[in-house]
Amino acid sequence: MNIFLAQQNYHIGNFEANTKKIIEAINEAKSRNADLIIFSELCVCGYPPRDFLEFEDFIEKSYRALDEIKQYTENIGVLVGAPARNLQYDGKDLFNAVFLLHEKEIKAEIHKTLLPTYDVFDEDRYFEPAYEWNVIEFRGKRLAVTICEDIWNLGDNPLYRVCPMDLLMEQQPDLMINLSASPFDYTHYEDRKAIIKANVLKYKLPMFYCNAVGSQTEIVFDGGSFIFDKDANIIKVFPLFEEIVDGLKLNADNTFSESIIEKADELPTHELNPERLIPSLNIDEVYSALVMGIRDYFNKMNFSKAILGSSGGIDSAVTLALACDALGAENVRAILMPSPYSTSHSVDDAVELSKNLNNPYDIIHIKNIYESFLQELKPIFNDLPFSVAEENIQSRTRGNLVMAIANKFNYILLNTSNKSELATGYGTLYGDMAGGLGVLGDCYKMQVYELAKYINREKEIIPRHIIDKAPSAELRPNQKDSDSLPDYSILDQILYQYIEQRKGPNEIKSLGFDTALVDRTLKLVNINEYKRNQFCPIIRVSPKAFGVGRRVPIVGKYLI
């Protein structure tokens, strides 16, 4: 049997575009003599549809799309993901389902059992879990079809009520198929490979695993679909961050004629999320995820041009380089807005960067605007000493200017704040925290430096001085970030333990960090939740990003 996988980039709620893409993949597979083609989880409507699922019109459109797709299945089997109405059982109105389409009919319907409710997932809010488990008969093969999370329980987790594959094995399937929408993060790819391997080792069946690709606002799907033989060797790996339709022939004896790409004993063992002080990045994957996040956000929202404030600092430099890669340098406008406290070399560095990237840029000096604010505020401020108030006026002046240009010329403002700053509140609401999309908001400061070095891997794009100089907001004379924050190399490790690893203060201190520093850092994180709650969407690349996957009370007392 020739079995193909369609690793595709869908647009949530864009049924016309998704249906066209699915039909094109079916036709390509048919032209290559495929017997069966497998798509990813909820491909018909796009994943995650969230509260769109509460609209009956949305569900109607999904079923109409299925009706259109099945007209192309006269001589090929098609497994597609879509919401299905719950017409038989008590509970929620919908199932997260897979439909087998063949001979222009719906031949079978499979429901997802294990509905994730952690991090960015909230499927139990919308879907009812499966009540029955059946192998699908197709062209002489018995298919054990599961959906994403259903293979993450190997029967050893008491939190799950059932193990779907254990139940399906009672019906003696010939192979396993999993339709997935498993997001990218810089610790997850190897974990995912390991869990698929663990399934194959347990059940001794080939596995066809199809994952989604593409970015949906903050969530990035990396693709990386797999085909495993029954001995847990990888026979085919699909590329990361690319759309592709391809497959293999499964022989009658459930073997493959193709060469093994990666042997089972070379694969990582099944250890999910091993404890790390802070992981090193697979830098090319993170770079690709961020570029895809920017590009898809703009394309799917019908935006074409971006703008950002270019300060001559590392964060704006990396953001600018990523945006130019994603959108084309001609579509990214940099605005340099030096204040009375900006150093000349910062302006020079920002100019050099834009010249290296060949993107348009403008210089607007904010000294006069800043001083007019101070003059108007003088009767109220009196002779009080310089403070954060004067610093924030500069930042908000810049925010006003760059948003004015964005409004006038239909740009979308890219935010340049990094995760270390967002975690500790080192930013100005309605100033440098303004923006339509947070590009680096899930990258700690030291990870931003890793990205800068990667961008310069072949030639100097980001001027060396930007990378080497001490980071500074330049909002007062001789200011450095270290005046307000601990050294980033230590700060980032503490933040990672608290945010990603969810360790409490005593656990973090036991790792050898200074007691006072831990207390100070965690207090900064918690008292600044109100700022992050007003922040724009952030491209997610870590196991725990600020945003929909981390819901912390603003008025909570914990550690304050």
* Any domain includes 543: no
144 and 69 part of one domain: yes
* Any domain includes 288: yes
Q: Please give the backbone phi and psi of residue 33, each rounded to the nearest 5 degrees, phi first.
A: 65, 35
Report the C-alpha gap between 10 and 214 in whole angstroms: 7
Token pair belonging to 59: 């569900």
* Any domain includes 290: yes
Show the domain range for 84. Answer: 2-266
246 and 361 part of one domain: no
Report the C-alpha gap between 365 and 347 in whole angstroms: 10
The catalytically annotated residue of 21, 70, 112, 230 is 112
Q: Please give the backbone phi and psi of residue 398, each rounded to the nearest 5 degrees, phi first.
A: -60, -40
CATH number, domain at 360?
Answer: 3.40.50.620
**Of 464, 483, 502, which one is at a domain's C-terminal end?**
483
336 and 195 part of one domain: no
76 and 101 part of one domain: yes
Report the C-alpha gap between 374 and 83 in whole angstroms: 57
- Residue 158: count other Cβ atoms within 10 Å of its Cβ: 5
241 and 291 part of one domain: no
Does 204 qualify as catalytic in the annotation?
A: no
* Any domain includes 114: yes
Q: Look at residue 343 in the predicted model and tell me its pLDDT.
A: 84
242 and 327 part of one domain: no
Task: Give, for 215, the enclosing helix (H) or strand (E).
Answer: strand 213-216
Q: Look at residue 279 in the predicted model and tell me its pLDDT.
A: 78
Report the C-alpha gap between 518 and 317 in whole angstroms: 30
* Any domain includes 245: yes
**Of 483, 499, 515, which one is at a domain's C-terminal end?**
483
291 and 256 part of one domain: no
62 and 175 part of one domain: yes
Q: Look at residue 268 in the predicted model and tell me its pLDDT.
A: 55
The catalytically annotated residue of 41, 218, 352, 474 is 41
Per-10-residue mean pLDDT, the chain, length 560: 98 98 98 98 98 98 98 98 95 97 98 95 96 96 97 82 94 98 93 94 98 98 98 97 98 95 74 60 95 98 97 97 98 96 90 98 97 96 94 96 98 98 96 97 97 98 95 85 89 96 95 95 95 97 95 83
The catalytically annotated residue of 148, 210, 324, 443 is 148
What are the start-end ranges of the E strands in 408-461?
Answer: 412-415, 437-438
CATH number, domain at 91?
Answer: 3.60.110.10
Q: Look at residue 560 in the predicted model and tell me its pLDDT.
A: 65
**Of 449, 483, 517, which one is at a domain's C-terminal end?**
483
CB-CB contact of 398 with 309 (8 Å): yes
Count structural domains, the chain: 2
Q: Which residues contact 327 (CB under 8 A, 6 or more apart)?
A: 294, 295, 298, 304, 305, 306
Does 103 qualify as catalytic in the annotation?
A: no
* Any domain includes 530: no
* Any domain includes 50: yes
Report the C-alpha gap between 151 and 147 in whole angstroms: 8
Report the C-alpha gap between 537 and 221 in whole angstroms: 16
Q: Look at residue 388 in the predicted model and tell me its pLDDT.
A: 94
* Any domain includes 65: yes
Q: Look at residue 267 in the predicted model and tell me its pLDDT.
A: 63
35 and 121 part of one domain: yes
Does 41 qualify as catalytic in the annotation?
A: yes
249 and 387 part of one domain: no
Report the C-alpha gap between 52 and 43 in whole angstroms: 14
Report the C-alpha gap between 559 and 524 in whole angstroms: 10
257 and 136 part of one domain: yes
CB-CB contact of 5 with 24 (8 Å): no
CB-CB contact of 150 with 117 (8 Å): no
**Cα dihedral across residues 87, 92, 93, 96: positive or negative:** negative
Q: Look at residue 472 in the predicted model and tell me its pLDDT.
A: 87
142 and 252 part of one domain: yes
Instruction: Specify burial of residue 466 (Cβ count, 10 A radius: 0-12, 13-18, 19+).
Output: buried
Q: Which residues contact 358 (CB under 8 A, 6 or more apart)?
A: 329, 330
